[in-house]
Structure 1
Amino acid sequence: MTRQNRLREFSRRKNKSHFGRFILFVLLIVIAATLAGGGLILFETEKPLVTVPKEVRFLGRNTSIPFQVTDKKSGIRSITITLEQQGESRPIRLYAKSFPRQSWFYGAGPAVVSGSVLFNSKKFKVKDGKAELIVTVHDFSLNRFFKGNETIRRYAVLIDTKPPRISLQHTPRYIRPGGCGIVVYDLSEPAARQGVVVNGVFFQGFPLNGSKNRRIAYVALTWNTKKLGNSMVVATDRAGNEAKDFFSMDLENVPLKKDRIYVSDAFLKRKMPKFKEHYPEMKGSLLDQYLFVNNEVRKRNARHIKEVCSNPVPKQLWKDRFLRMNGETRAGFADQRTYFYHGQPVDHQVHLGMDIASTAHAAVKAANSGKVVMAEYMGIYGNAIILDHGQGVYSLYAHLSRFDVSPGEMVEKGEVIARSGATGMAGGDHLHFSMLIHGIFVTPLEWWDQHWIDMNINDVLNQL
């Protein structure tokens, strides 16, 4: 072999040796990176996340404690929930659960666990007072010498197994369909929910004159009430303990007036196009459209009014009797209306207010002081305003031609808030006036009567 060939062979072998070492180096780097990556996964240090709702700070006789645990890397290995009280030798275990390992990398356990613990004071034999709820969670990481990452969350709680005490101070003796009254009662402790239930309807109670313990609730009956069922004050404290105190009232029936409304073609031609603008889904003849408005739109309006009256101002804004607009009464509360078209009865509805006719575009004044919570077009009522007088008392003004106030404004008794008109289903210029208790229509006659207000509200409160 010549010298030149020997040099070539040596160079070839040298290059091959360098390439082999390079391949080995790359393999070592890949192995090291894999081991390092695996180590980062196996020994990840992210702790599990524990969530317990803020409202779980009071534990009653039977309280559900919801929780959620999250660990989106190695996954959840175990969850333990305990309760500790001073003077007790060891914590009370409320919940414990472990999960089997599913892999050696991410997702070895569930990423999210949601559940609830039912705390029963008798079962766990605890005493009323302060305690600490402790949630301990481990994941499947090999961190901390293979023990896994640990999260311990502590929540201060109060164990309360005694329901509130209710002391009735006043209940109405008599009440009529479409009528109302007040219930006054004392509570021994703050309540998460309290009020009065009459015939299955809940009426929220409010602090009386800023009192810490005394509450007042305005109650009402619908116009068509035939009998009285159970009436009671109910109170649920923050730990979920419920108390009830029953009372009785006598139902005074009132006669109902019947009325006939004659619907003409001229009225339909004048009114239905305007309703069509707001309710384009109306179909059929003018009579079909009229019946749609008088039924379906009326129901929608009732739901909207109920919603508007669902969040009353907690303090009394009104004082003494409500003002009645000067004018002639054209229709009364709970009038039973039968509608005739071409001499035939086509519909039946109940009139839930008082119609008062004065001069055209007469000034409409606030019947009492309050807050404007609605001023808008509302179907059969046309342009309408609702005032919140506090603690569940509302007044409604309908068929208006103009608004002089806007939602959110505070108005004084006797202040001009609008002008009368013939919007909505009105046949001519007049004011439709309604009174409501928590969204239930009641007769305005009681609220226009100072003697009734004195006998049923003012004198009662002054004597307590």
Structure 2
Amino acid sequence: MCNPNMKSGFVKILGLVFIFVLIGGGILVLSLDSFEKEAPKITIRDKAVWNLKDSFPIEISDNVAIKSYSVALIENGQRIPLDVQQINAQDTMCVAKNANLSPLTQNIITPTPTKSFCIGIQKPTGVKDNAKFITLEVSVTDTSKWNLFKGNTTTQQFNIAIDSKKPQLAVVSNSYKITQGGSALVIFRAIDENLENLTITNGNLEFKAQPFYKEGFYIALIAWSKMHDNFTPKIIAEDSAGNVSIAPIGYFQQKKRYKDSTIPLTDSFIDGKISTLVEEIGEKSLDEFESKVEIFRYINEGVRQQSFDRVFKAASEFDTESLVENFHIKPFAPLRGGAVMASFGDYRRFTYQSEIVSESHHMGLDLASIKQAPVILNNPGIVTLNEFVGIDGNSIVVYHGLGLSTLYAHLTTSDVNVGDVLESDMKIANTGNTGLALGDHLHFSVLVQGYEVWNAEWMDAKWIKLNITDVINEAKAIINQI
């Protein structure tokens, strides 16, 4: 006969096991992503300003997936549903005006659950352009089965300032002329309470402006690359609402022809100078190349580009926030009594066994005098680079202000360090034949925001006066009258 106490104990144990299994199963289920409790996130741009023309972008995201979302205008306590477009863009905080938009929809249920995307809001019907602000309510629900299978929902209201006025933009003064390969100055006024971006473009390259003299005025040196025939300079001002103003810069444009030459390559040159430089750089072994031509191309094209990139970085990163009250520059003359061995802009095609195998553009001035000649700094500045740089060999870059830098290459020795603040007319190095140099000389380049420009202009006192000093003085006189 069974003992009733044993039977009762067995039932209790079985009941406890069932409870533990039930609790454990519940904990396991609730720990799954399908029961996660993290609410979706809603993000708008830092400055909530809208021009009512472009779509206003809103980013919605969730740690698992978004199921649905909606947007409404809150007006006089009423909730008015708005049409929404999904924005297909590359970056996270998308820019609606540059993106592809899906059809307008309300109360969207996402057909394929997605973790993050942007939506664009169109101008609500009835909202006038002169409105000061509007209030939007955004609601997003994720795919979680939490909250009795309803999911997690985030609802937020945003006060959006309305700004449909373009920035005021006008050129105050600029250099009269710019030569292909050369530089020019521009000073302009840009005013907008929500001003966000100022860009100067020449149709190929972009340049940064700095605050000048008084509030609302800006100054910049720009360049016309020797590599580009077309030149369409203009200033673009954009505010945080997306309003854009454009002002052309009226330079007289002068084309310039640069020297064109063909240089035959010899085995002794490739086996000597070029191969030695490959070994000195140390990134590749000579055994990796299939031919002597490939060795030369590696130096003349690959290493040349690396050298350009390194110098560009050192010369293009500068303070654009501090106010420029004046800018004084003297003509550069880095090597006393130096003879010109090669000029800026020389185009060189290289042949091997009568075939053209590579090309390059010489973007500086080669000067030579005696071996180990002293290199003189003619204008004060800050050292931003002092190292071995590929084809340039031992190199120094000095920043002189207003985006203007100078490069001194192929040096033997250096008397300065990165970060040094230098006075004018001091010795900074000695010439040499490091890098891709065929004899002791100085390679001297002038750079505007990292781009190499025609040196001759910056070595000419008359050009500096007409194109830099006089333009600054004229701009100040005009600004003082405004």
Question: Once the two structures are superposed, what CA deviation does each residue of 1:97-155 show, in whole Å capped at 9, x if it has no partner?
Answer: 46599xxxxxxx95x64222213337673544334443334566675x99765433344
Residue equivalent to 1:387: 398
From the superposition, tell whether residues 401 and 318 of structure 1 become closer, same or farther in structure 2 (CA, over 3 Å): farther
Residue equivalent to 1:232: 234
Residue equivalent to 2:180: 177
Is the contact made by 2:378 and 2:425 (CA closer than 8 Å) also made in structure 1? yes
The AA in structure 2 aligned to 1:239 is: A
The DSSP-based 3-state class of the residue aligned with 1:377 is strand
Gaps of 5+ in 1: 1-8, 102-108
Report how many aligned residue pairs link the two structures: 440
Equivalent positions of 1:193-342 (< 5 A) are 193-209=197-213, 211-228=214-231, 230-258=232-260, 267-277=269-279, 278=281, 279-280=283-284, 282=286, 283=289, 289-314=295-320, 319-325=328-334, 326=336, 327-337=338-348
1:136 to 121, 135, 139: 139
Equivalent positions of 1:80-119 (< 5 A) are 80-84=70-74, 90=79, 93=82, 95=84, 97=107, 113-119=115-121
2:190 and 2:439 map into 1 onto residues whose CA distance is 50
The DSSP-based 3-state class of the residue aligned with 1:17 is helix
Residue equivalent to 2:91: none
The AA in structure 2 aligned to 1:206 is: Q
Q: TM-score, normalization: structure 2?
A: 0.77
Residue equivalent to 1:29: 19
Gaps of 5+ in 2: 85-105, 476-482
- 2:70 matches 1:70: no
From the superposition, tell whether residues 130 and 344 of structure 1 become closer, same or farther in structure 2 (CA, over 3 Å): closer
Q: Which runs of 4+ in 1 moved over 6 A?
A: 38-42, 145-148, 340-346
Q: TM-score, normalization: structure 1?
A: 0.80
Is the contact made by 1:83 and 1:94 (CA closer than 8 Å) also made in structure 2? no
2:250 and 2:263 map into 1 onto residues whose CA distance is 39
From the superposition, tell whether residues 344 and 31 of structure 1 become closer, same or farther in structure 2 (CA, over 3 Å): closer
The DSSP-based 3-state class of the residue aligned with 1:427 is coil
Cα displacement (A) at 1:17:
3.5
The DSSP-based 3-state class of the residue aligned with 2:171 is strand
Residue equivalent to 1:14: 4
Please, which moves more after superposition, 28-37 or 349-358? 28-37
From the superposition, tell whether residues 93 and 344 of structure 1 become closer, same or farther in structure 2 (CA, over 3 Å): closer
From the superposition, tell whether residues 304 and 63 of structure 1 become closer, same or farther in structure 2 (CA, over 3 Å): farther
Residue equivalent to 2:436: 425
The AA in structure 2 aligned to 1:397 is: Y
Residue equivalent to 1:446: 457
1:237 and 1:434 map into 2 onto residues whose CA distance is 36
From the superposition, tell whether residues 71 and 220 of structure 1 become closer, same or farther in structure 2 (CA, over 3 Å): closer
Is the contact made by 2:37 and 2:146 (CA closer than 8 Å) also made in structure 1? no
Cα displacement (A) at 1:166:
1.0
1:285 and 1:270 map into 2 onto residues whose CA distance is 14
Cα displacement (A) at 1:289:
2.8
1:334 and 1:295 map into 2 onto residues whose CA distance is 16
Residue equivalent to 1:104: none
The DSSP-based 3-state class of the residue aligned with 1:305 is helix
2:13 and 2:359 map into 1 onto residues whose CA distance is 94
1:24 and 1:226 map into 2 onto residues whose CA distance is 88
1:163 and 1:201 map into 2 onto residues whose CA distance is 24
Please, which moves more after superposition, 146-155 or 431-440? 146-155
From the superposition, tell whether residues 429 and 156 of structure 1 become closer, same or farther in structure 2 (CA, over 3 Å): farther
1:300 and 1:41 map into 2 onto residues whose CA distance is 51
Cα displacement (A) at 1:435:
0.9
Is the contact made by 1:233 and 1:244 (CA closer than 8 Å) also made in structure 2? yes
Question: Once the two structures are superposed, what CA deviation does each residue of 1:270-316 show, in whole Å capped at 9, x if it has no partner?
Answer: 42343122142553565653344223322332344334443233256
Residue equivalent to 1:163: 166
- 2:410 matches 1:399: yes
Percent of paired sites with the same residue: 26
Residue equivalent to 1:352: 363
The DSSP-based 3-state class of the residue aligned with 2:407 is strand
1:337 and 1:97 map into 2 onto residues whose CA distance is 63
Please, which moves more after superposition, 181-190 or 262-271? 262-271
Cα displacement (A) at 1:227:
4.8
| RMSD of aligned alpha carbons | 3.9
The DSSP-based 3-state class of the residue aligned with 1:62 is coil
1:121 and 1:179 map into 2 onto residues whose CA distance is 46
From the superposition, tell whether residues 428 and 232 of structure 1 become closer, same or farther in structure 2 (CA, over 3 Å): same
From the superposition, tell whether residues 313 and 29 of structure 1 become closer, same or farther in structure 2 (CA, over 3 Å): closer
Question: Once the two structures are superposed, what CA deviation does each residue of 1:347-405 show, in whole Å capped at 9, x if it has no partner?
Answer: 65332211111332222233422332222222221111222333332211110112332
